[in-house]
Amino acid sequence: MTVQKYLSDLHHECITWKNNLSFYKEDLEVMKHRLGEVARKNTDKDMHAMVERFQNKLIIEEERIDTLMHRLNLSEEEVVDNVKDNPSSSDHRKMTSPQDLWDDMQSFELLFNQLRKDLNSFAAKWM
């Protein structure tokens, strides 16, 4: 299903998602630090295996953030190019919304929030 949105709305959505991704990237650093604390305070081998699994998941999430940010930048460039092509009526024009990107962003947020919850539970257990 294709959805048409005003250029200004698409631009605003891109900015909002990019800000969200920047927040998640900062949150990753907090989560990495927390895992480091858990690893330093414990010697249990099973716990260290779990730390390594979480570290791998954080690396994957960081790559997903970078990929989504790149896709958002490309989407925003399309909006900007559209405005440059015909600036006089840009506030009244619509463009096809990148629905697959929005869906991927929502999916990412759900999975990231679950990872944060799981990591916090793990850290609380071992601290």
Q: Is residue 118 part of a domain?
A: yes
**DSSP, res 89:** G
Question: For residue 112, is it within any domain?
Answer: yes
Task: Split the chain (127 residues) into runs of 10 and give each run's mean pLDDT.
Answer: 86 94 97 95 91 97 98 93 82 87 96 97 92
Would you state the pLDDT for residue 82? 86
Number of domains in the chain: 1
Domain range for residue 64? 4-83+94-126
CA dihedral 20, 24, 27, 33 (to 10 degrees): -160
Q: Is residue 99 part of a domain?
A: yes
For the whole model, what pTM was predicted?
0.89
Token pair belonging to 7: 């250029």
Q: Is residue 89 part of a domain?
A: no
Note the Cα 78 to chain centre separation in Å.
Answer: 20
Would residue 88 count as lying in a domain? no
